[in-house]
Every structure is written in structure tokens, then in C-alpha cells.
Structure 1
Amino acid sequence: MEPLDPAVPGLLHGGRLEVTGRIVNASNATLICDIEGDGVRARCVYKPIRGERPLWDFPDGTLADREYASYLLAEAFAPDGEPIVPPTVLREGPFGPGMVQLWIDTDEEHELVDVRAPGEVPDGWLTVLRARDSLGEPALLVHADHPDLQRMAVLDVLLNNADRKAGHVLSSCDGRVYGVDHGICLHEEDKLRTVLWGWVGQRLPTELRATVRAVRHELDNGLCSKLGEHLTRRELRALSERVDGLLTRPRFPEPSGYGPAIPWPAF
């Protein structure tokens, strides 16, 4: 099912969930489900709140709300009508309330973030980090210079995404790029950790500056109230400050220096 299919919202909210598997390497309980309703069927991801692993720096039981709040912000950040984040809802499920998100089929032959030897970096790709592999050979963390990745990088700045791993960047079978796993976003303190640092210091393209202005408009016209059901006042204030900061200085930021700039593991 395509994310823009008009049946998706109703299906995610009201469809019957049947658990068919689990992503075992996820930090929190992440269940794969079939969802069906009114003759429509799709696959989705279900993350029950009771399966969230406690974190020292995020309040317990808030990750599902942060996933949904991230989707709401991604909607405001979608000038073409299709958010970078797949359709996401909060609802009851087989193991209690949690986040339900449409599954995205991926094209594994078109990865957009990778580790390559210095002589094997594709033309046009951007270098994020220079390191050495387990054998002591030089290795580079790189990503494509792709407009959808640029959009994701700017959205991550607004989300204050603390966990943009390479595995959270999905290249879909229809050629779109999606970001997933936004449970540790929207903290009031600066926690941006990402593999998408390739444009550091560059000026935001005109269309992305316009998109940030559109987000400011949405925040002033109802979005803050919606987000306020899932975030604290301090978190909302910090979000507003990040938006205004990008409008004042419309450049891709540098790492803050107050913690690791890249999540671990990076993939």
C-alpha cells in the first residue's frame, strides 16, 4: 500500500492488528504486523509503550508520543504532500497502546549511507567521517548528495534527532526516501546525533528555507497545540527556538561539541 493512499489513515487507526514477527535487533519492542480493515490489508510496525526500554535522559513511556509528534512535524515539513516519515498513528494494539506506522518496502540495492574505502566512494557522495576498519585499513562514512537526504537532515535539526542511524534511512522501492525510528527526538536539550553531516556549514537551498518558514507558520496556527498533547512546554519551546534559529541562520549546523555527533552504532 502506498503511503499517500487515502485509505491509509483509516486503516492505521481502526484496522485489526495481527502480529507476524519482531525486529529482534531493535532497542525497544518492535513488532511487525498485518493490519486489515474494510477489505484493505497492509503491513505495519507496532511499538507498544510497555515494550519501551527505559533511558536515562528521556522520560519513561514517552517514545511512542515522540514518534507521533515527529510525524506531525514531518507533515508540516512536506511541501509535496508526502512526509519523509511514513504515516504514523497512536492507538491500542494487542499489547496495549503504542505507535503504529505503515511498513515501507525497501530497495536494498540503493543504499544512501555506507562505509567505503577511500578509493571506492561513488562520485558525488559526501564524506562524514574518516576512520579505520577492524583490520586497520582506512574507511570513510559517506552518504549520497541527495535532495531527499538534505530534507531529512534539516528535519532532523528541527526534531533534534538523537538517533539518525544509517539503518533509519530507507530507500523505498518506489524511489522515495523515508526516515524511521524517531522515538528519541524532540528533547529540550541539544542531542542531535546523525550520519547526515555531509552539508555542514552550507547554506540551505531556497526551497528548504521556504519549508522551514512553512513550519513556523504551522506552529503558529495550531500545530503547537497538537504537539502539546505529546510534548512538554519546555520541549515545545526548544522546538520553536530551533525553527527560529534556522530561519535566522539558514545553514546546515555543525555538531555542538557537547556529546557524540554520530549515533552508536552508526548502522
Structure 2
Amino acid sequence: MTGQEAEELLREGALTVEGRIPDASNAVLYCSVSHQERSAHCVYKPVEGERPLWDFPDGNLARREVAAYEVSRATGWGLVPPTVLRDGPLGEGMVQLWIEPGHHSDQDDEGDGALLALVEDEEPGPGWKAVGFAQVGPGRTALLVHADDQRLRRLAVLDAVINNGDRKGGHLLTAPQSRLYAIDHGVSFHTENKLRTLLWGWAGEELPEEAVRVLRHLERDLSGDGELAVRLAELLTAPEVDAVRARVAELLRSGRHPVPSGDWPAVPWPPI
């Protein structure tokens, strides 16, 4: 399916709940969806199943998930699976195309290329970027690293734009044909800087030319009656949309990946 076809299926299809995904902080339901001659599996996160957070308004995490997809779609990178907001068996919620979790953040689609690792060395080896040291046992530390991978670097830029407060390793999924997908964006788009991520390896480095081109496109799409500006206005508050514009403008002004602010924990916990 194309992205547009997947959106239509998710938005118009009949949802059937098949089970609940365990260990999630909010209600996450595994569903099938069918419409005309198409069918697929998807994730349904009803608003009624959201737990209140002290720093985010109640009942709008689903809309933030959809907003993350809209920004991802506007970049052209396709990092977030097709996601829509719709009514379901338990009321309004986010519905997202299911990505078969055969490979998580520690492997690529062939199973022979790690994206995250803990190493005993003081410095990352070739092809790796350092995140920081982690305690792995009494008196033992290891260096947390991530791959120096173009897909991850694109995601680091996307996370900076949406102000992702929870980029964990378990939120990265690889799929055939070297596709990388990112999920779980409910705690994004805050007006304050809350960027928490495992992808700090490029912090302070100059943005790639490709990223600058994409950011310029987002800047245009977020202005006036641009398509992205209109869509985000349906999902976020006006100050939150203004904050997206400001983050894009700052990335273009600095021309560099952001660095930890020091006002907020830089790495999410647990990291996976």
C-alpha cells in the first residue's frame, strides 16, 4: 500500500480488537482493520486509556502521535508509520499501521547490523557514535553507543523538530528493504525544551545538507496556510505550533544538531 492508501484503510476501515499489548504505560490495543478489499493489522490507542501526565494536558497524547506522523510525512523520510485520529470501539484514539516487531533497535533488517550497543571501551569504534556511560553493574560502567547511520540521523533531526521527550531504543523498528520506523510519540510537541533521546551522537555537529533542505521545506510548509501548518493546527494548540516553527528556525539558524540543554534529563529512563 501507498501511504495514502494506508491512511484511508486506517481511517475508514472496520476496527476489530484482537488483544492488548502488555507492559505499555497507556492502553495499547492490537487490532485488525479492513476496508473494501484491503486489510491490515494496526495499533489503537484510545484517549480513554491515557494516563494523566504532570507536564502534558490530559487527553491529547493521541493527537500528538498523529502530529508526529504529519511532520514525518512532510519531511519525505517516512520514519513514522501511517497514523490517523478516528473513533474506535473505545472512542476517539490514534490508529497506526502495525510494523511487525521482528527486529527492534538492536538489529537491522538482516539481523547483522546493530543500531545500539554497550561497549567496554572508552571511545566508540568506527561506525559508532557515543551517547554516554551507563552503569551496568556494581562498580561497572559501559559506553552506550548508536550506529552512525543515516536513518538514525534523520530521526535525530525529526525528534528535534517535534521535541520528542521519550526516544527510547524500543521505539525503533526495522523492516525489510532497510526501512527504519519510529513509534510512540505521545510526549512530543511541548512548548518547553524536553528533548530526551538516545540519539545524541551528532550533538553539536553540522547538519547534513539533506537535513537543511528538509528543514527549509518544513519552514515553508509551516508558514501561513501551508499544508502542514493547517494540519497541525487541527491537532495542537497555537503555542505548540508556534514552537514547532521556532525549533525549525533555530535548527536552520544554528545549522547544527542540538545539544542537551541541561534543564531536563537528556536520556530517557529506562533507555530501552
Normalised-by-shorter TM-score class: over 0.9
Distance 2:246 2:5 in 1: 36
Which whole-Å CA distance do the structure 1 matches of 2:58 and 2:154 have between them? Answer: 30
The yes-or-no answer on 1:228 pairing with 2:224 is no
> Per-residue deviation at 1:25?
1.1
What's the counterpart of residue 124 of structure 1?
127
- Secondary structure of the corresponding residue to residue 222 of structure 2: helix
SS at match of 2:39: strand
2:67 to 40, 48, 69: 69
Q: Secondary structure at the match of 1:141?
A: strand
Aligned-pair identity (%): 48
Match of residue 241 from structure 1: 246
Q: What is the correspondence of 1:82-231 to structure 2 with a 5 Å cutoff?
A: 82-105=77-100, 106-108=102-104, 109-110=107-108, 111-118=114-121, 123-220=126-223, 221-231=226-236
> Does the CA contact (< 8 Å) of 1:118 and 1:138 recur in 2?
no
Conserved? CA contact 2:123–2:130, under 8 Å: no
User: In the alignment, what sits opposite 1:27?
Assistant: 25
TM-score (norm 1): 0.93
- Alignment RMSD, CA only? 1.7
Distance of aligned partners of 1:54 and 1:214 in 2 relative to their CA distance in 1, 3 Å threshold: same
TM-score normalised by length of structure 2: 0.91
Distance 1:131 1:197 in 2: 14
C-alpha displacement at 1:131, in angstroms?
2.4
Q: Deviations over 1:23-51 (max 9, x none)?
A: 21111111111111212111111000000
- Structure 2 match to 1:262: 267
Match of 2:111 in 1: none
Q: Is the 8 A contact 1:33 1:43 kept in 2?
A: yes
Change (3 A) 1:261 1:93: same
CA drift of 1:173 comes to 2.8
- Name stretches of at least 5 consecutive residues in structure 1 with no aligned partner: none
Residue ranges of structure 2 left out of the alignment (5+ in a row): 109-113
- CA separation in 2, counterparts of 1:88 and 1:246? 26
Aligned equivalents of 1:153, 1:243: Cα separation in 2: 13
1-side partners of 2:3 and 2:269: how far apart?
Answer: 35
> 1:129: how far off?
0.9
Question: Can you list the C-alpha shifts for 1:57-111, whole angstroms capped at 9, x where unaligned?
Answer: 0000010010111111111111xxx521100000111111100000112434434
